[in-house]
């Protein structure tokens, strides 16, 4: 057995070592159509021969208006790629394939918008359907960053003919460069897998269609169809790792892989099982450390996951025991590969069904970490496949069915649908009328038996239709209760003293939001939805409506109530009131007219912010966080600092929002809070992620990511970028250390930023993003330095040059502490009253004692 442990998966030695092995073709597909659309001759591509679509004897092309297209850069057949020819349709067109062996088939589609003088294929709207399933619906290259796109599906073909239909929309055309229809081994995808959350068997997969979203080769290079007996592609996993430095790559000789009857060459190539990612900090003293892959997904779909393992790490059996997590769910606990496979270097795989993450609906996370009872703290993974599952409309793209997309496909059903809808509406109206009558009778009866609240009810009637939210004891259900009037009154008094604000009737909320009109939707989270509303007096508000079906959302909802009842500050979003009627959980906030900070940086067509505006926004957010950390009797850690949780009012004043994940900080005799990792990927403190130990410095790290977003105007994580640019924190710090931060900042700021101000800003962000919390500044330090950067921007160039004496990057030069320039200035206001009572309601009276330690940031050894 040969072991190679490396930290860079693209070393030339590894590539040469793996390229020496070529798998033998074990499976011969009965159906194997490789079609080069629009080509005039056979084309060899990645070791396979694609034939032209028109003369193929087993293929019938049904179309009205069809044109072949070749790239002007194409030369000979030997150098021609399948992406250099295309078939363009101006009307509905179908390819029909004769199927010799019904069953699962790969449907692979290749698209590349060839430049030509007739059509703009970049704007072509592409819709593709099979006999039963929608594969693509209204796809356009205008929303895609690459020069070509490859789509892979697997569909169970049950007849001897298979039809693939291309549908142009409106006046557009539709095109395709190449098509593959290839048989799949019957055993590759089972009919049943384990569903997570809740854990239960999921059956019926054989009747569903799948789209390959990810197929990852952990620690290994890109594998093309030439390296896979089933023609699959496996990409390297590095750009999906949450923390690139969290893994070591282990490699074995591919010929040493010992396949079994359950895991064969068709399951995955041996070059997948011969490479693995393992923990970068194996056998650390505190083993609370997971290796995590973050995968963007569409939240409306379920996903089939196949996780591949092969113990090429251990030198002896029964020494590697670890856990597998999908999102926050434990998928496999105490996994001992050698026990399951009775040996080392033996492949093993497991299938699961999962949705996207509840906390981050557009992300799917997969993690491996050591088992708490294991002698060796290590974990490994070799490969991962993620396949999207067709929905109830039999679609893999949207909610439309095949019949609704085909012209006239739904006409025959319209009359039936109208009759059904009409009958349903009539029945509903009748039931509603009966219900209203019963309600009126019941209300009249109750009114006779009890005194109304205004008249001083005795508590036995219906004087209080709902109970106020308790300030504490939030583990109980926050809905109606059968408590006595005495308890109810006490709760009201307690509530009033906590400044939770106005109590809204549900009808008031309905009126304010126009019955929760979707056009007024501001955002969606794990708790539910946020709507814009207008109260009777014209006050604009943001209404957060809790989703009772979301356990995680309700927990965050309760946390937010508890936190906001104690917090009042100019730079924290204020709670106006609440509603707890009809089992609804609704909070009403002040409306922030300019929305989240992120929308002013990218993703929206808003005018760019000036450098001064960006500094003022960062300063406002830092003041809010500094107040959280120091302004109450016990510190509060926000735990989800990001640009979407920094909101701007009509004057662009920044206020921190969303306290659903907030956590009370450590007590005086503690250094941290031990808790499960929560937050948003891209902003998570790597030390907190590894150790599960939360401190205020975790917020500081997240705020450092925000600073880089503000400067560079790009997301914290962008998996489509080159590997070194995926994580903004790592990428920006590489430029900061070279003193070239101005090379990557927003182009709108070029030539408009004082160099001294930018330098101070970059130094501040760099300290925030230190790997270890002990090396990071406090939010008070961050606040002072940002205010100093703003002063440098506002001061004349000559004065800035004289004042800019920071030598953070020059070793060996003694550095005197920098004194605050004027403690009496308004910009030196500090968070509300560390010496006040725990409620901390002073908006502007911030902790003045912190000014004495602000200068420590300038001296890296000051703490």
Query: Binding site for ATP, residues?
Result: 544
d(CA 439, CA 435): 6
- Which tokens go with 119? 């059509």
Token readout for 773 is: 């919390």
Give the DSSP H or E segment for 322: strand 321-326
**Residue 295: both structure tokens together:** 């995968």
Tell me the β-bridge partners of 376: 320
176-182-188 Cα angle (round to 5): 130
295 in Cβ contact with 213 (< 8 Å): yes
Q: Which helix (H) or strand (E) holds 588?
A: strand 586-590
For 235, half-sphere exposure in the C-beta direction (CA atoms, 13 angstrom radius) is 14
Q: What are phi and psi of 499, to 5 degrees?
A: 60, 35
Task: Check 53, 228, 640, 847 and give the catalytic one.
Answer: 640
- Please provide residue 98's backbone torsions phi and psi, each rounded to the nearest 5 degrees: -80, 125
Phi, psi for 80 (deg, rounded to 5): -75, 135
| Number of residues written out for the chain | 863
Which residues, listed in sequence order, are joined to residue 15 by a DSSP beta bridge?
Answer: none
CA 356 to chain centre: 9
User: How far is 220 from 353, CA to CA, in rounded Å?
Assistant: 25
Between CA 561 and CA 362 the distance in angstroms is 26
- By three-state DSSP, how is residue 371 classified? coil
Q: How far is CA 584 from the centre of its chain?
A: 27
- State the Cα angle at 638 between 634 and 640, rounded to 5°: 165
Of 413, 321, 409, 410, the residue nearest 368 (C-alpha): 321
Give the DSSP letter string of 33-75: EEEETT-SS-EEETTEEEEESSS-TTEEEEESSEEEEE-TT--
| Reduced 3-state DSSP string for 605-663 | CCCCCCHHHHHHHHHHHHHHHHHHHHCCCCCEECCCCCHHHEEECCCCCEEECCCCCCE
**DSSP assignment of 192-230:** EEEETTTTEEEE-GGGS-EEEEEEEETTS--B-GGG-TT
Half-sphere exposure of 146 (CA within 13 A, CB side): 10
Please spell the DSSP secondary structure of 756-798, one letter per residue: HHHHHHHHHHHHHT-SSGGGSPPHHHHHHHHHHHHHHHHS-HH
Write the CA distances from 379 to 278, 328, 334, integer angstroms.
Answer: 6, 17, 11
The CB density around residue 45, as the number of other CB atoms within 10 Å, is: 17
- Per the annotation, the verdict on 640 as an active-site residue is yes
Residues 6+ apart with CB under 8 A from 297: 213, 303, 356, 362, 363, 364, 386, 388
Q: What is the DSSP letter of 294?
A: E
Looking from the CA of 667 toward its CB, the CA atoms found within 13 Å total: 1
Question: d(Cα 845, Cα 129) in Å, to the nearest integer?
Answer: 63
Q: What are the CA-CA distances from residue 100 to residues 103, 182, 693 (Å)?
A: 10, 11, 59
Residues noted as catalytic: 640
């Amino acid at each position: 057995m040969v072991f190679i442990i490396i930290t860079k998966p693209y070393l030339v030695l590894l590539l040469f070592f793996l390229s020496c092995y070529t798998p033998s073709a074990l499976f011969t597909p009965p159906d194997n159509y490789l079609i080069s659309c629009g080509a005039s001759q056979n084309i060899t591509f990645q070791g396979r021969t694609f034939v032209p679509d028109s003369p193929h004897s087993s293929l019938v092309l049904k179309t009205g208006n069809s044109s072949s297209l070749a790239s002007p850069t194409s030369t000979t057949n030997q150098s021609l790629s399948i992406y250099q020819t295309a078939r363009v349709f101006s009307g509905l067109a179908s390819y029909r394939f004769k199927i010799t062996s019904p069953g699962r088939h790969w449907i692979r589609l290749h698209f590349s918008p060839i430049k030509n003088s007739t059509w703009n294929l970049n704007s072509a709207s592409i819709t593709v359907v099979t006999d039963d399933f929608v594969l693509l619906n209204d796809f356009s290259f205008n929303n895609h960053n690459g020069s070509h796109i490859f789509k892979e599906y697997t569909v169970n073909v049950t007849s001897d003919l298979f039809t693939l239909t291309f549908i142009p929309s409106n006046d557009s055309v539709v095109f395709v460069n190449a098509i593959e229809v290839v048989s799949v081994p019957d055993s590759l995808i089972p009919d049943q897998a384990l569903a997570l959350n809740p854990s239960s068997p999921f059956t019926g997969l054989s009747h569903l269609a799948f789209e390959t979203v990810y197929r990852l080769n952990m620690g290994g290079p890109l594998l093309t169809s030439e390296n896979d007996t089933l023609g699959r592609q496996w990409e390297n996993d590095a750009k999906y790792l949450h923390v690139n430095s969290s893994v070591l790559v282990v490699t074995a000789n591919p010929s040493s892989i010992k396949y079994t009857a359950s895991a064969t060459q068709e399951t995955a190539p041996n070059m997948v099982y011969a490479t693995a990612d393992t923990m970068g900090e194996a056998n650390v003293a505190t083993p609370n450390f997971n290796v995590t892959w973050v995968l963007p997904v569409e939240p409306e779909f379920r996903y089939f996951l196949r996780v591949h393992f092969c113990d090429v790490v251990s030198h002896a059996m029964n020494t590697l025991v670890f856990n597998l997590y999908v999102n926050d769910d434990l998928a496999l606990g105490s996994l001992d590969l050698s026990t399951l496979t009775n040996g080392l270097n033996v492949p093993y795989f497991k299938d699961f069904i999962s949705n996207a993450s509840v906390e981050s609906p557009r992300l799917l996370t997969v993690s491996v970490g050591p088992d708490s009872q294991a002698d060796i703290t290590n974990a490994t993974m070799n490969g991962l496949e993620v396949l999207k599952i067709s929905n109830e409309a039999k679609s893999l793209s949207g909610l439309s069915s095949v019949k609704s997309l085909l012209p006239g496909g739904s006409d025959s059903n319209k009359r039936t649908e109208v009759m059904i809808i009409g009958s349903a509406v009539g029945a509903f109206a009748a039931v509603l009328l009966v219900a209203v009558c019963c309600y009126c009778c019941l209300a009249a009866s109750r009114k006779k038996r009890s005194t109304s609240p205004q008249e001083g009810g005795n508590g036995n009637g219906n004087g209080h239709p709902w109970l106020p939210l308790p300030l504490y004891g939030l583990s109980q259900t926050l809905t109606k209760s059968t408590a006595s009037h005495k308890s109810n009154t006490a709760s009201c008094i307690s509530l009033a003293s906590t400044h939770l604000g106005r109590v809204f009737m549900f009808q008031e909320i309905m009126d304010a939001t126009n019955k929760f009109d979707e056009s007024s939707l501001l955002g969606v989270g794990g708790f539910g939805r946020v709507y814009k509303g207008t109260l009777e007096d014209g006050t604009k508000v943001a209404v957060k409506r809790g989703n009772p079906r979301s356990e995680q959302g309700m927990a965050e909802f309760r946390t937010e109530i508890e936190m906001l009842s104690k917090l009042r500050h100019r730079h924290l979003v204020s709670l106006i009131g609440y509603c707890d009627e009809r089992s609804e959980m609704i909070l009403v906030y002040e409306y922030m007219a300019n929305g989240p900070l992120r929308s002013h940086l990218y993703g929206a067509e808003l005018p760019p912010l000036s450098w001064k505006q960006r500094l003022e926004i960062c300063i406002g957010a830092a003041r809010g966080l500094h107040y959280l950390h120091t302004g109450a009797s016990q510190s509060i850690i926000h735990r989800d600092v990001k640009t979407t949780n920094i909101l701007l009012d009509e004057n662009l004043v920044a206020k921190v929002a969303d306290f659903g994940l907030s956590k009370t900080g450590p007590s005086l005799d503690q250094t941290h809070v031990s808790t499960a990792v929560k937050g948003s990927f891209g902003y998570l403190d790597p030390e907190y992620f590894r150790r599960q130990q939360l401190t205020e410095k975790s917020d500081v790290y997240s705020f450092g990511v925000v600073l880089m977003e503000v400067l560079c105007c790009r997301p914290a994580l962008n998996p489509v970028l080159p590997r070194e640019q995926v994580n903004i924190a790592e990428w920006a710090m590489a430029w900061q250390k070279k003193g070239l931060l101005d090379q990557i900042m927003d182009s709108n700021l070029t030539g408009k930023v004082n160099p001294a101000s930018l330098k101070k800003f970059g130094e501040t962000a760099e300290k925030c993003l230190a790997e270890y919390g002990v090396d990071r500044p406090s939010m008070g330090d961050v606040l002072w330095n940002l205010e100093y950067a703003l002063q440098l921007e506002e001061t004349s160039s000559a004065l800035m040059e004289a004042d800019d004496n920071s030598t953070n990057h020059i070793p060996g030069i003694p550095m005197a502490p920098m004194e605050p320039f004027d403690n009496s200035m308004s910009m030196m206001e500090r968070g509300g009253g560390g010496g006040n009572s725990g409620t901390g309601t002073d908006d502007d009276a911030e902790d003045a004692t912190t000014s004495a330690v602000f200068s420590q940031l300038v001296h890296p050894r000051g703490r």
